Structure 1
């Protein structure tokens, strides 16, 4: 063996990481089962009204107007500018409710109020969207399992899929714990987290495969540690720049993408952790070795090569 390579012993903390991840996943599942998710209008159904005021109006005045007219459960936010107001009302209300809200706002405001759009989502449509969203996440995990198994090896595939499931469950658990709105934009963010985390996992798996094939004199655990050390710089730079952008989006991106940015912030953070500890730890637990990467020869292959 040539000069010994220096590396960080990530796998020495794999048992602690496994215990932490297991506790976080179980807590997330318990939260989702007991408390549930705070589904937004996309999934629960209801009415969405966008209006534009002639001048900027404090949102509290709009809320007070709606409460006075019997719409206590209305959610009022700015949409893009101080004069653009978005009103969300929960399910159980009629499709004509939008016109009633608009009339109330016009009657109470000294400024002109222009209607931009009215959208009504029925509860049945919201339920279908929930089911389709869950199927989309499940299908994404199945496709990842097949892809990684074909590109690498089944042990890598199991590690990648379990890490992705870990990221999704914890992200949903955080949303359940904090009570953030879960709508279609958050579902899109969850699917984006699967893609981001998969990319990180493949980079790590590719380096582990390369080192398992090319390095001699090291144990599989040391090779995994060396591979993680080799990719650490890339992981930190990629995740760091991504998180910087997401923080900016969460702070100044506006209400409409706030939940999207929060979901990606949680997912990217957890995904970075899982690509280092979960994927690699599972490979070590499954006793990955260079022999796993040897392509078996077909019977009669030597005869096929004869002229």
Structure 2
């Protein structure tokens, strides 16, 4: 007997109250933007600037012990990661220690570096710092700008792809869902003041891809059913399409969430922010694919007879496999 998270031949009416779902999403987006504008994000070292120290020791690295030794110094955000390289000797253990820029200073001072070294020597007496590099506020500001451009370009690329693949109404629906997901994710990080760094930008781009995948699956079924049910109202065709893909949508989301929750619980502090963003993104991405993208498509309307070619409809590339 096969496991089914959703019964066969479901017939849920996802558009009984489309304005309600859109209204809830609009309110949440306004709250997210308000939180971002009022208190901003808790930027990590990548965006604040700071100092990166490369250490070497013959003692095996314990990231937790390193962190416990440095935290009492009160240096703010600290990131510690072990470096692996096949060229390292058997007793060569390398770690990267990143310390955020202190208030009013471009970089961590030599006195602070000496304090960190002394604290770590309690754990690894032979530890040494082989390099110390600093990233100033100017470079960090450029990183913020570059990250924002990366997200915007990704969404723009989605707009063009969906427009060529389907029609402009589908493209606007997909982009609205992606913007919804990104804004809500940024809003959660702003409200909870979770550290926001380049790993979270990677998570945002991954969320864009995941949400788009869900949306395209639904839209493909919508296009098939528009050919199949030429006389049915668009609302009914959308309901049929979402119900037909509901089992696949839930199975994909649940299995992805199981892996992410395991990483969140067992993965440690280094990737916890990234995994949290992914968990939240999977949830809102699944929601937006069903309730936002399709609702926008219902509101805009779409060509019904797909058996006729229309070079002006944005579907001239619809048969391209991608």
Q: Is the 8 A contact 1:163 1:279 kept in 2?
A: yes
Partner of 1:21: 25
Unaligned 5+ residue runs, structure 1? Answer: 67-71, 299-307
Q: Is the 8 A contact 1:47 1:90 kept in 2?
A: yes
Please show how residues 101-112 of structure 1 align to structure 2 within 5 Å.
101-105=115-119, 111-112=125-126
Equivalent residue for 2:224, pick from 210, 214, 218: 210
Greater shift in the superposed pair: 215-224 or 85-94:
85-94
Equivalent residue for 1:135, pick from 149, 155, 180: 149
Equivalent residue for 2:40, pick from 20, 36, 40: 36
TM-score using structure 1 length: 0.84
CA distance in 2, matches of 1:262, 1:249: 9
Q: Which structure has greater helix proportion?
A: 1
Q: Is the 8 A contact 1:51 1:113 kept in 2?
A: yes
Equivalent residue for 2:71, pick from 40, 63, 74: 63
TM-score using structure 2 length: 0.80
Q: Is the 8 A contact 1:79 1:254 kept in 2?
A: no
Evaluate the alpha carbon distance shift between residue 77 and residue 127 of structure 1 in structure 2; reply closer, same or farther with a 3 A threshold. closer
Partner of 1:46: 50
Partner of 1:88: 99
1:100-149 Cα distance to aligned partner (Å, 9 max, x none): 34443256668443447644211111100100111111111111111100
Partner of 2:207: 193
CA distance in 2, matches of 1:79, 1:159: 41
Q: Is the 8 A contact 2:79 2:270 kept in 1?
A: no
Secondary structure of residue in 2 paired with 1:290 = coil
CA distance in 2, matches of 1:251, 1:42: 24
Q: Structure 1 residue runs of 4+, over 6 Å off?
A: none
Please show how residues 275-286 of structure 1 align to structure 2 within 5 Å.
275-286=289-300
Unaligned 5+ residue runs, structure 2? Answer: 1-8, 84-93, 313-322
Q: Is the 8 A contact 2:218 2:245 kept in 1?
A: yes
CA distance in 2, matches of 1:271, 1:151: 20
